[in-house]
Amino acid sequence: EAQVTQNPRYLITVTGKKLTVTCSQNMNHEYMSWYRQDPGLGLRQIYYSMNVEVTDKGDVPEGYKVSRKEKRNFPLILESPSPNQTSLYFCASSYGTSGRDTQYFGPGTRLTVL
Amino acid sequence: GESVGLHLPTLSVQEGDNSIINCAYSNSASDYFIWYKQESGKGPQFIIDIRSNMDKRQGQRVTVLLNKTVKHLSLQIAATQPGDSAVYFCAEMGEMDSNYQLIWGAGTKLIIKP
């Protein structure tokens, strides 16, 4: 089944404790992206990647890192999480490199930073 | 920055009736628009898209209308069913620094009354 998977689905952590949320897609998509979703704000892009080893900042990159060492995986790293990073996170992928193709979303990761 | 917004945060519709969800966008240069559906606990799911060289596009029970003159987008759902209950997002594809980025609206919650 073609899908985007994220792990973990739920995470509660404390301020300053480094964490990684994994994202993997099995559709051989070039473009991958991370979003955060907060009430009343819709989805805001954190980082995106057009290809392996190519990443770029989205609208709200502060406090986040990403890497794209292989096509299928695009982990989101919070080096020192803070309470304002409590949010619902979605990973997405799409076929082409530009991001103009239909994006397929993972099930989401709900993160709480205490 | 550019913004995409929705007129009504919540829409309540009788089962079997038609639903119309509206969306305003601000970037007149955007040439691609997408509607996503997000059910509770899930990631956004693509419904239908439209390019700026069209003013109407139909899918199965859904129709998207684009009015470029007033920068307005709408999603019409025919004969709404309980499974249509979800939050609906419009998004526009805007070009920033030679890359294409999805700009999301805040979402409209559709409630289907039995």
Compute and round to an integer the Cα radius of gyration of chain B: 14
Beta-carbon separation of A103 and B101 below 8 A = no
CA distance B44 to chain A (A): 6
B11 in Cβ contact with B110 (< 8 Å): yes
Helix, strand, coil share of chain A (percent; to 5): 5, 50, 45
* Smallest CA–CA distance from B44 into chain A, residue: A105
Whole-Å CA distances, A89 to A12, A42, A101, B74, B113: 13, 11, 20, 27, 30
Which H helix or E strand runs over B24?
Answer: strand B19-25
Beta bridge partners of B109: B10, B87
Q: Does B31 lie at the interface with A, CB-CB under 8 angstroms? A: no
* Smallest CA–CA distance from A42 into chain B, residue: B106
Give the Cβ contact number of residue B69 at 10 Å.
8
C-alpha to C-alpha distance for A38 and B25, rounded to whole angstroms: 20
| Chain A residues within an 8 Å CB radius of B49 | 102
* Smallest CA–CA distance from B106 into chain A, residue: A42
Beta bridge partners of B84: none
Percentage of chain A modeled with pLDDT above 90: 85
More confidently predicted of B64 and B25: B64
CA distance B34 to chain A (A): 8
Least confident among A22-36, B39-53, B87-101: B87-101
The reply to whether omega before B114 is within 30° of 0 (cis) is no
Residue B3 pLDDT exceeds 50: no
DSSP-derived letter for residue A73 is: B
Q: Does B40 lie at the interface with A, CB-CB under 8 angstroms? A: no
- pLDDT tens-place string over residues B50-94: 999 999 999 999 999 999 999 999 999 999 999 999 999 999 987
Exposed e or buried b for every residue in A23-40, given b needs 16+ CB within 10 A? bbbeeebbbbbbbbbeee
Q: What is the mean pLDDT of residues A25-51?
A: 92
Interface of A with B (CB under 8 A): 4, 40-45, 48, 50, 56, 58-59, 90, 92, 98-100, 102-108
Q: What is the mean pLDDT of residues A32-47?
A: 90
Give the Cβ contact number of residue B56 at 10 Å.
11
In this predicted structure, what is the pLDDT of residue A9? 96
SS3 label, residue A85: helix
C-alpha to C-alpha distance for B51 and B62, rounded to whole angstroms: 16
Residue B1 pLDDT exceeds 60: no
B21 in Cβ contact with B88 (< 8 Å): yes
Q: Give B7's pLDDT tier (boundaries 50, 70, 90).
A: very low
A74 in Cβ contact with A92 (< 8 Å): no
